[in-house]
């Protein structure tokens, strides 16, 4: 599947990168990102991905997965349009993002996404998150008045909620 989406990386390269990063969990977090629903993907390739992650992906936050979007400018988009498997006029009419559902329905893709999201080897993360330290640092240094501090913390909280809602 890596070759199909023209990733130009190997499974061994990914494993090496995670092995190196695992040594620094006192300083950084790690996670893997997968895409399910690439043309030609099957239940068997999803199982292979999960097996690979369960053996090789050691990360602080585990893998995340998304269903394949059909985006203009990508090789998959061009291939699907060329093969008459995707009507690019959809973009002209709506501008919405579309999942590739010619081979598998949304229910199957979502099931695969959830399976990938729950695989991999979770390792502990020992450092504090930046946003855990910000309020303490500001309060200790008395950099802001309480009104400005409340406003800043509110902005930080909104930003974190926005990020959390994406994942």
Average pLDDT of every residue of the chain: 82
Domain 11-122 carries which CATH code?
3.30.750
What share of the chain has pLDDT > 70, as a percent? 81
pLDDT the model gives residue 167 = 47
Instruction: In whole angstroms, give the CA distance from residue 45 to residue 28.
Output: 30
Instruction: In whole angstroms, give the CA distance from residue 15 to residue 52.
Output: 9
pLDDT digit string (tens) for 91-114? 777 777 788 888 999 999 999 999
Q: Where are the domains of the chain?
A: 11-122, 130-166
Does residue 60 contact residue 122 with C-beta atoms inside 8 Å?
yes
3-state secondary structure of 151: helix
pLDDT digit string (tens) for 46-81? 999 999 999 999 888 888 999 998 888 888 888 888
Is the confidence at residue 127, as pLDDT, over 70?
Answer: no
Question: What's the average model confidence in pLDDT over 34-48?
Answer: 94
Instruction: In whole angstroms, give the CA distance from residue 18 to residue 95.
Output: 36
């Amino acid at each position: 599947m890596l070759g199909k989406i023209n990733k130009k990386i190997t499974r061994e390269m990914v494993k090496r990168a995670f092995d190196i990063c695992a040594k620094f969990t006192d300083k950084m977090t790690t996670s893997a990102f997968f895409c399910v629903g690439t043309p030609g993907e099957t239940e068997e390739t999803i199982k292979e991905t999960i097996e690979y992650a369960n053996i090789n992906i050691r990360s602080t936050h585990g893998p995340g997965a998304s269903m394949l979007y059909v985006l203009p400018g990508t090789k998959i988009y061009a291939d699907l349009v060329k093969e008459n498997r995707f009507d690019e006029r959809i973009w002209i009419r709506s501008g919405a993002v579309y999942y590739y559902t010619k081979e598998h329905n949304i229910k199957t893709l979502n099931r695969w996404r959830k399976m990938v999201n729950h695989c991999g080897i979770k390792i502990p993360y020992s450092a504090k998150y930046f946003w855990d330290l910000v309020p303490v640092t500001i309060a200790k240094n008395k950099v802001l008045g309480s009104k400005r501090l409340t406003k800043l913390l509110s902005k930080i909280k909104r930003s974190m909620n926005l990020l959390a809602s994406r994942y």
